[in-house]
Each structure stands twice: as structure tokens, then as C-alpha cells.
Amino acid sequence: MILITGATGTTGREVVGELQRLGASGVRAVVRDPARASFVRDAGFETVEGDFDRPETLDAALEGVGRALLLTPPSPHTYAYQRDFIEAAKRAGVRRIVKLSALGADASAPEGFGRWHGQAEEFLKASGLGWTILRPNFFMQNLLGQAQTIATQGALYQPGGDARASLIDARDIASVAARALTDEGHEGKTYTLTGPEALSYAEAAAKISDATGKHVRYVSLTPEQFREGALAQGLPEWLVSALELLNELFASGDAAEVTDDVRGVGGKEPKTFDEFARDHAAAFGSE
């Protein structure tokens, strides 16, 4: 039995689709609200109610599971959620966990996603369970959060200046995750997942322009402008602080590395940003 957590999120939905495409059987998704997961059942898979905020629900969800995808929502409780899941998986006799981590994961990093995922990686490795760790770069899909602004103002607002990052499509992350869950040979491996090229936000804006047929400009924000805008939108302080660290990672150039892991593990060519922009041209305001 394969267990999927985070099945209703951006990447989790794609993992469900990839497992269906691969003809996987014995797949279960743990979800907070089964009514929102009809697509899982439509794929021929099982759903079970569970919640990271209620760790007592995890034991039943993990019953009979051999491999599990550990994917938790963005939260300051990331480490606690993942620690509790790993402990429950060990009690249930799970053989291997495929953990969706983050680029720059390091237990000694400043408080934020890198630190929380780094701590969880260390806990997983020390658990005695088999493990595979996936460290994806910035998601292309994150830009969909600005789709309305891009459509109405013709502008992409981001910090980062002229730095580049090898943005990755969530569909490619899902391809690797599905293979890591169903194929042998991935135990004890850490994969850094990137797109096929490193782009600046200005170059991404130009590609969105090409895909939509309308001019989209890049407006580079200062860190102060980003913080002020994020807080004005109602984002909680913890999330704004965590995002600031990700922005620093982008601006440093450390996110520009391009790897071959999507091709090598996922067995496919990674999607280019041009493909992503064309696929979502309507959301970006295609003329």
C-alpha cells in the first residue's frame, strides 16, 4: 500500500495523477476533508480522513502501508508535523518514506522552511526507516498567485533583481515522487529537482508576454517593499519571514543550479517555462 499525504495540494494532486498514469494499485490518500478528494476516488484510489493537527489520526491512515509520501502544508509546525508522521509510520511498520523537502534544507539554517525541513530530514534519516528526499527548487506554479495582477496590470512584482533560479513545474516534481514511490533503487538518495534552465524574473515575464500576446513587465521589489506588501495582503508574520529567507536564497544565485534528476528519476524531459506559460496563458490574461 502507498500512502499519499498532501493529496489536495498543488503537488499532491499531480502525484495522484502520475500514480494513476503509471497504473499503480493499492494507493491511499490521507485528507482532512474526503469531500474535497473525489478526484482521488475517481482515479481508483482510496481516501481516509486524517489531519496533521490531530496526530492520533495518523495510525489508522498508515495501517498496512509500505511506502508513504510525506508532504505537509506550509506551516511553522512543519517539523512537528513531519516528526509525528515519521514516528507513526515507524509504529505502523512502513518500510520507506519519500519526503518532499526544500532547496536549501539545513537544520542549522535560520528559522524558516530551510531549517524546518532540514530538521525533519535529520529526524527521518535517524529513524531507521528507508528514505528518499526530494528537494525541489522554486515552483513555477507559485507565479499563478500573481496571475490576476499580471492579467490586469501587465506586471510581475517580485524581489530578486537580476538573479536567476531554475524554476520547476510541479508536474515534474510529481513525476519524480511517483517513480520514487513505485520503483526500486531510490532508498537513501537525495534528489535536487530543478527545471531545465535558470531564469530571472525579467526573463520569466518576457516568456509570459510571448505566451499571452500581451506585454508583461517585471517590477523588482526591495525587501522592504515585499514585506510591506505581504503584510498588507494579510499574510501572517511567520510566513512573511519565511518567504523573506526564500527571497534571499533566490537573490543569492544559489537557486540557479540545474540538475538532471527529473530526467534521470522521473524518466521525462523537464517542462520549460515556455511550456508552463503557454499552459496557463488564460490565467495570465491571454489576448
pLDDT given for residue 187 in this prediction: 97
For 23, counting Cβ atoms within 10 Å of its Cβ (0-12 exposed, 13-18 middle, 19+ buried), the class is: exposed
CATH number for 226: 3.90.25.10
- Are 143 and 33 in a shared domain? no
The yes-or-no verdict on residue 286 having pLDDT over 80 is no
**Would you say residue 146 lies in a domain?**
yes
- pLDDT tens digits for range 181-238: 999 999 999 999 999 999 999 999 999 999 999 999 999 999 999 999 999 999 999 9
Q: Count up the domains in the chain and report the number.
A: 2
**Would you say residue 263 lies in a domain?**
no
- Radius of gyration of the chain measured on its C-alpha atoms: 19
Residue 169: CB atoms within 10 A of its CB come to 24
Instruction: Decide: helix, strand or coil at residue 67.
Output: strand
**Would you say residue 233 lies in a domain?**
yes
- Are 281 and 147 in a shared domain? yes
- Split at pLDDT 50, 70, 90, the class of 19 is very high
DSSP for 75-92 reads -TTHHHHHHHHHHHHHHH
- pLDDT tens digits for range 142-163: 999 999 999 999 999 999 999 9
Q: Domain range for residue 143?
A: 138-167+195-256+271-287
Q: What is the pTM of this model?
A: 0.95
